[in-house]
A = this chain, B = another copy of it.
Amino acid sequence: MEAGPIFAGKGFRATTVREICEQANVNVASINYYFGDKRQLYHQTVVLAREMRVEQVPEPNWDASTDPEQKLLDFITLILRRLVAMQTEPWQVRLLMREILEPTETCKHLVEEYFRPFFNTLCGIIDDIVGHRLPEPTRNKIGFSIIGQCLYYRFSADMTRLMIEQQDYVDQYDLDNLAQHIYLFSLGGLKHYQTLDERVLKDARPADH
């Protein structure tokens, strides 16, 4: 499968079937013969990318005794490992990133099969740490805050590198360092909610007049 890296690098539109076929040393007609058309090849490639990435970076195994804060750190590390590959960026990541940014039909499939259960796991961890059930929108937003921090280092990686010293990026933005930071920062945010949420929720929703 030579299509992956090319789709990942240039997107669906900018990728030509001729380039793929040349890379794979097959005839231009092969894609239409085997996949129907270019679009279906793309769809198959995205699905494959997700499967490969999940396989490459498996989930941590927790048992009943694993405490929720450790789970949070593990989970953040998992996201960073899966979506935010550091030194070399595997094509699978960039391809999935494109789907998140500009969803095609393929993305619905990704959400149901992968993102939603993934997000639900995170929500469970949040509930465990806070100790009591937050209102669902609040809980979701906390989840998005954690994921958002992680995704930043993928989506904005190129720009971030333009912002800070090259050497700092190598030294201070490795995976464990980032995971540790996001963990600490998010734990702080969570604790803050834990102590404030009753008050805030009461204050934020006065009788609307």
Contacts and interface: CB of A to CB of B under 8 A. Distances in A.
Contacts of A107: 158-159, 162
Given A152-B148, A153-B144, A189-B189, A184 B196 contact: yes
Given A148-B148, A188-B192, A100 B137 contact: no
A132 interface: no
B116 A163 contact: yes
Nearest to A188: B192
Interface stretch (A22-30, A62-70, A175-183): A175-183
Given A137-B172, A149-B149, A159 B111 contact: yes
A147 B158 contact: no
Contacts of A187: 189, 192
A168 interface: yes
A141 interface: yes
Interface residues of A, number: 58
Most chain B beta carbons < 10 A, residue from A10, A11, A107, A181:
A181
A169 to B, nearest CB: 9
A112 to B, nearest CB: 9
Contacts of A13: 10-11, 13-14
B164 A156 contact: no
A149 to B, nearest CB: 4
21 contacts: A13-B14, A100-B159, A103-B162, A107-B159, A107-B162, A111-B163, A136-B168, A141-B172, A141-B173, A141-B185, A144-B153, A145-B182, A148-B148, A184-B192, A184-B193, A184-B196, A184-B200, A185-B186, A185-B193, A186-B189, A189-B189
The 3 closest A-B pairs by CB, nearest first: A188-B192, A148-B152, A185-B189
